[in-house]
Amino acid sequence: MKVRVQSAAFDFGAEANAFAAGRKDAGAVVTFTGIVRDLARGDLDRMEIEHYPGMTEKAIEAIARQAQERWALKDVLVIHRHGVLEPGDMIMMVATAAPHRVDAFAAAEFLMDYLKSRAPFWKKEVTANGAQWVESRDEDEAALTRWSE
């Protein structure tokens, strides 16, 4: 399991290749990348992502461990950025490796659902007209309940 919390950009292709390369134990690798989306008005200047150093890494590792307990995974990678990002920048990625694709897909979705509302990150959208903290959505919380059914 690898967890990285960083302000620097990451090379998605290189990360995905390094994660998948040389695996003989896993028949399936699933990756997901989150990208800073512009606002509907097209006026997002930047997104500022705050986090809780120390807790962030622990929380993500705990989520990744839960995924490993739940599915037959050979490996998990999570990279999540903080700091100032622009529309189109990659915020984060997850990769899962498993013998079979069903487990790799499910674990990747699980990781995404939990990272959204259980990892201590806060996004602020900044436009020429001011800044606003992104509010959590009820759907994000509801997404977690399906994993406890």
Partner 1 sequence: MIDVMYFAWVRERIGLPKEKVETEAATVAELVDELKAREERYAAAFADTTALRVAVDQELTDFDAPLAGVREVAFFPPMTGG
We find the least distance from the C-beta atom of residue 86 to partner 1, in angstroms, to be 18
We find the least distance from the C-beta atom of residue 1 to partner 1, in angstroms, to be 18
We find the least distance from the C-beta atom of residue 144 to partner 1, in angstroms, to be 12
The tokens describing 60, both together, are 């993500």
**Residue 68 forms beta bridges with which residues?**
none
We find the least distance from the C-beta atom of residue 15 to partner 1, in angstroms, to be 17
Site string for partner 1, 86-125 (x = CB under 8 A): -----xx-------------------x--xxxxxxxxxx-
Q: Looking at 14-22, 37-45, 55-63, 101-109, which segment touches partner 1 (CB under 8 A)?
A: 55-63
Return the closest-CA partner of residue 148 out of 113, 99, 108.
Answer: 113
Q: Residue 118, exposed/middle/buried by CB under 10 A (0-12, 13-18, 19+)?
A: middle
Taking CB under 8 A as the rule, does residue 142 contact partner 1? no
Taking CB under 8 A as the rule, does residue 79 contact partner 1? no
**75-81 and 28-35: which strand pairing?**
unpaired
Distance (Å, whole) CA 74 – CA 71: 9
Q: How many CB atoms lie under 10 A from the CB of residue 92?
A: 22
Site residues (CB under 8 A) for partner 1?
34, 50, 52, 54-55, 58-59, 80, 91-92, 112, 115-124, 133-136, 141
